[in-house]
Chain A
């Protein structure tokens, strides 16, 4: 039987059938479409916020002595904590100490509140800083942790302990001075090496910076080891103090430390909130930036300064949580590919929650008389997540 020639109408009908089929295929995955919609993003961000809040409340309810879980007591204490300053300001006959003494576990709840705040905010800012660095360098290894910040902070701690000895607790401002200046110097050295090793005048070599940072980190860790052995020979408990400072078991919660921590983290987070969208531009090349009329250098410089300051704050006030800023942005970039604002929000929230969760785990362990350094718990919590991410999907950065 000879094959009948196709008419134009038949061909058109066939084509429309194909189009219809593809449309039905597209309609068959409504969840995919929903996951990419703006509505879902809003819902997700809201859910993250709620989850973080719940973890925060959970963390508030742990006590150091016994793990009794009584939310009403915590609520009374927190209410008193916020109301007492105002009432004592306006009411002269109000006796603040009597109110404090009448509440059970008042001081413990306040300490728990400060600890949770420090842990959550440190997790947020170190992850946002890590996202910033990875965006600028387009490289997952370039976390501020690797560029000498962690080494600088632990070097500052060692200097602080060697200078003041066992009376270190009464000279806290000196500690912040030492830590911040040592971290600044080491980061500057890494950037200078990157700047000088750039090929052309004014060029900036990413590889040079990362390499110099790695060298500084390795050298720093060895020198720290030497000093730790020297401290061990002293036999006065200085080594324990150093370990507690660097691993984050000892968080200073006095007024001066809280003011320094909160003000510096506000200074860092404000430009991120205001300029979040514009930081997308730091990932472009110089030529493209010039063509679009954006001054790249200024944004990049701002990003570098803010990113290293963020990591320094977290490491000084919350101990060694540096593993967060390398892994969390990597994992979040795996979920959401490009947009800086979204990635930094997601990374910040996740980092804060993981930091809080590790604090809760430590509290549970401490209640059973088991010692666990904070940074180690963070690493041990993160590693399975990270391996899962790697196994699910290959390299995010090429």
Chain B
């Protein structure tokens, strides 16, 4: 009796199972239609993500607290929940407490995630390169340089010890410069550094932008900034008895949400971030045209140079503000757009809102994980580990690096 050999299914995207009534062309058409259907469902995906964000936010705000405030066991958590409920009642009735500080912290997390993710998305679109992100473009390096310069030049010395973070409650005169010296320095340095990096890239490409050149000049600039930071670190290490300034540089480079943050920080962040996010939502359709190429965009009547400059400066400003207040947080602007593209497709009108929501969701998740494992003071490390593993996964799946340079 002859054995029946089962032929293996053909692999690859183009070979799909055909229905009995259709030939290969019809099959391709059906596949195309299914893909379009998936993209058409992206509004649903955005809605689902928004609901997830809300649920997660409410859950985290009520359940997760800083270490030291709860014992970490389930019973402790339940006790906490009861306490939280009373805090909630107190908050509603007007008297603050631990709960209101939780609300501030998680709102800052959501804002930071949204800003970083959409900045990464904007960079990737306007440079047509999937590895352009605030951390590779020199924004992070520039902000750290600004922080170092602030620490060297403007940090106050009170009674022999160096004071880094000016306390909002203690200061009597609410001057923007006195309150936000550190953040203003970081933002200014980040803006100047992105200007330098794009300038070097334009020189390299003889007047035209290209992803590879941006990446190259970003890396060169980052290593240069690293060298300058090392010089200052040496200085602080040898001339400071208590290492306050050295520790300030390290704290900036590790990024955390556990610092003392109150409504003033939230207000200062949202003054910049909320208008920028809204502006991005309005000009996101232009990105679809810019991605097609400079000549095509000009033919369609879009002022490419103006819009690209606007998009890059808005993205840089958002990322710089987040870095200035929170500290360096890598890979968020790089991973989140990659994930969102799988849900919404490449259309920037859908992609940017999705990025904002998913950025918040992912940063809350990562922060809660870090809080559980005791790494919440080292957020940059946690996001880097997660980002690296996702990157390696996408490399191994053969999907990353395709549109590089």
Q: A interface vs B, CB < 8 Å?
A: 139-141, 146, 193, 196-197, 199, 205, 207-208, 210-212, 214-216, 218-219, 222-223, 225-226, 228-229, 232, 239-240, 243, 247, 322-323, 326-327, 371-373, 375-376, 379-380, 383, 386-387, 390-391, 394-395
Q: In the complex where A141-B215, A222-B384, A226-B381 touch, is A376 in contact with B227 (Cβ < 8 A)?
A: yes
Asked if B195 is an interface residue, CB under 8 A from chain A, the answer is no
Q: In the complex where A207-B405, A232-B250 touch, is A222 in contact with B380 (Cβ < 8 A)?
A: yes
Task: Tell me if A373 and B392 are in contact (CB < 8 A).
Answer: no
Contact of B227 among A207, A214, A229, A379 (CB under 8 A): A379
Q: In the complex where A383-B224, A391-B203, A394-B204 touch, is A211 in contact with B234 (Cβ < 8 A)?
A: no
Contact of B250 among A228, A240, A371 (CB under 8 A): A228
Task: Tell me if A371 and B215 are in contact (CB < 8 A).
Answer: no
Can you list 29 A-B pairs, Cβ within 8 angstroms, ordered by A? A140-B216, A141-B215, A141-B219, A193-B395, A193-B396, A197-B400, A205-B401, A208-B400, A212-B395, A216-B388, A219-B385, A219-B388, A222-B254, A222-B381, A226-B381, A229-B254, A243-B234, A247-B230, A323-B227, A326-B223, A371-B234, A371-B238, A375-B230, A379-B224, A383-B224, A390-B203, A395-B204, A395-B205, A395-B206
Task: Tell me if B216 and A211 are in contact (CB < 8 A).
Answer: no
Asked if B77 is an interface residue, CB under 8 A from chain A, the answer is no
Chain A residues with Cβ below 8 Å from B400 are 197, 208, 211
Complex formed: what's the CA distance from A146 to B330 in Å? 17
Q: In the complex where A219-B388, A240-B237, A391-B203 touch, is A197 in contact with B396 (Cβ < 8 A)?
A: yes
Task: Tell me if A395 and B213 are in contact (CB < 8 A).
Answer: yes
Contact of B231 among A196, A208, A326, A376 (CB under 8 A): A376
Complex formed: what's the CA distance from A395 to B214 in Å? 12
Q: How near does chain B come to A375, taking the closest CB pair, in angstroms?
A: 7
Asked if B398 is an interface residue, CB under 8 A from chain A, the answer is yes
Task: Tell me if B224 and A211 are in contact (CB < 8 A).
Answer: no
Closest partner residue, chain B, to A146 (CB atom): B219
Complex formed: what's the CA distance from A215 to B131 in Å? 11
Task: Tell me if A394 and B205 are in contact (CB < 8 A).
Answer: yes
- Contacts A196-B395, A232-B243, A395-B206 supplied; 4 other A-B pairs, CB < 8 Å: A197-B401, A216-B388, A247-B230, A326-B223
Task: Tell me if A218 and B330 are in contact (CB < 8 A).
Answer: yes
Asked if B91 is an interface residue, CB under 8 A from chain A, the answer is no
Q: List 9 A-B pairs, minimum CB-CB distance, nearest first.
A: A379-B227, A394-B206, A207-B401, A207-B404, A376-B227, A219-B388, A222-B384, A197-B395, A215-B388
Chain A residues with Cβ below 8 Å from B401 are 197, 205, 207-208, 211
Task: Tell me if B391 and A211 are in contact (CB < 8 A).
Answer: yes
Complex formed: what's the CA distance from A371 to B239 in Å? 11
Q: How near does chain A come to B189, taking the closest CB pair, in angstroms?
A: 17
Chain A residues with Cβ below 8 Å from B396 are 193, 196-197
Chain A residues with Cβ below 8 Å from B206 are 394-395
Q: How near does chain B come to A188, taking the closest CB pair, in angstroms?
A: 14
Complex formed: what's the CA distance from A247 to B226 in Å? 12
Task: Tell me if A215 and B381 are in contact (CB < 8 A).
Answer: no
Complex formed: what's the CA distance from A305 to B228 in Å? 32
Chain A residues with Cβ below 8 Å from B213 are 395
Task: Tell me if B381 and A375 are in contact (CB < 8 A).
Answer: no
Q: How near does chain B come to A396, taking the closest CB pair, in angstroms?
A: 9
Asked if B135 is an interface residue, CB under 8 A from chain A, the answer is yes
Asked if B247 is an interface residue, CB under 8 A from chain A, the answer is yes
Which residue, A141, A323, A371, A395, has most C-beta atoms of chain B within 10 A?
A395
Chain A residues with Cβ below 8 Å from B331 are 218
Task: Tell me if A208 and B230 are in contact (CB < 8 A).
Answer: no
Task: Tell me if B204 and A390 are in contact (CB < 8 A).
Answer: yes
Asked if B253 is an interface residue, CB under 8 A from chain A, the answer is yes
Q: How near does chain B come to A193, taking the closest CB pair, in angstroms?
A: 5
Complex formed: what's the CA distance from A196 to B400 in Å? 12
Asked if B57 is an interface residue, CB under 8 A from chain A, the answer is no
Complex formed: what's the CA distance from A211 to B388 in Å? 10
Interface residues of B in 22-36 (CB under 8 A from A): none
Complex formed: what's the CA distance from A210 to B246 in Å? 32
Complex formed: what's the CA distance from A326 to B230 in Å? 19
Chain A residues with Cβ below 8 Å from B231 are 372-373, 376
Asked if B292 is an interface residue, CB under 8 A from chain A, the answer is no
Interface residues of B in 111-151 (CB under 8 A from A): 131, 135-136
Q: How near does chain B come to A288, taking the closest CB pair, in angstroms?
A: 22
Chain A residues with Cβ below 8 Å from B243 are 232
Asked if B378 is an interface residue, CB under 8 A from chain A, the answer is yes
Chain B residues with Cβ below 8 Å from A380 are 227
Asked if B63 is an interface residue, CB under 8 A from chain A, the answer is no
Chain B residues with Cβ below 8 Å from A199 are 398
Contact of B330 among A222, A228, A376, A395 (CB under 8 A): A222
Chain B residues with Cβ below 8 Å from A243 are 233-234, 237
Complex formed: what's the CA distance from A199 to B12 in Å? 12
Chain A residues with Cβ below 8 Å from B385 are 219
Q: How near does chain A come to B207, taking the closest CB pair, in angstroms?
A: 9
Asked if B188 is an interface residue, CB under 8 A from chain A, the answer is no
Complex formed: what's the CA distance from A333 to B219 in Å? 19
Contact of B392 among A212, A228, A240 (CB under 8 A): A212
Chain A residues with Cβ below 8 Å from B215 are 141
Complex formed: what's the CA distance from A199 to B401 in Å? 11
Chain A residues with Cβ below 8 Å from B131 are 211, 214
Q: How near does chain A come to B123, taking the closest CB pair, in angstroms?
A: 16
Q: How near does chain B come to A149, taking the closest CB pair, in angstroms?
A: 14
Complex formed: what's the CA distance from A386 to B243 in Å? 34
Complex formed: what's the CA distance from A205 to B227 in Å? 31
Closest partner residue, chain B, to A323 (CB atom): B223
Complex formed: what's the CA distance from A210 to B237 in Å? 34
Chain B residues with Cβ below 8 Å from A371 are 234-235, 238
Mask of B318-339 contacts with A, CB within 8 angstroms, 1/0: 0000000000001100000000
Q: How near does chain B come to A377, taking the closest CB pair, in angstroms?
A: 9
Chain B residues with Cβ below 8 Å from A196 are 395-396
Task: Tell me if A394 and B203 are in contact (CB < 8 A).
Answer: yes
Task: Tell me if A218 and B384 are in contact (CB < 8 A).
Answer: yes
Complex formed: what's the CA distance from A376 to B388 in Å? 28
Task: Tell me if B135 and A208 are in contact (CB < 8 A).
Answer: no
Mask of B372-394 contacts with A, CB within 8 angstroms, 1/0: 00000010110011011001100
Asked if B16 is an interface residue, CB under 8 A from chain A, the answer is no
Asked if B220 is an interface residue, CB under 8 A from chain A, the answer is yes
Closest partner residue, chain A, to B378 (CB atom): A226
Complex formed: what's the CA distance from A214 to B391 in Å? 11
Chain A residues with Cβ below 8 Å from B381 are 222-223, 225-226
Asked if B261 is an interface residue, CB under 8 A from chain A, the answer is no
Chain A residues with Cβ below 8 Å from B370 are none
Chain B residues with Cβ below 8 Å from A395 are 204-206, 213
Complex formed: what's the CA distance from A226 to B375 in Å? 10
Chain B residues with Cβ below 8 Å from A372 are 231, 234
Chain A residues with Cβ below 8 Å from B237 are 239-240, 243
Task: Tell me if A232 and B246 are in contact (CB < 8 A).
Answer: yes
Q: How near does chain A come to B235, taking the closest CB pair, in angstroms?
A: 8
Closest partner residue, chain A, to B227 (CB atom): A379
Closest partner residue, chain B, to A247 (CB atom): B230
Q: How near does chain B come to A79, taking the closest CB pair, in angstroms?
A: 38
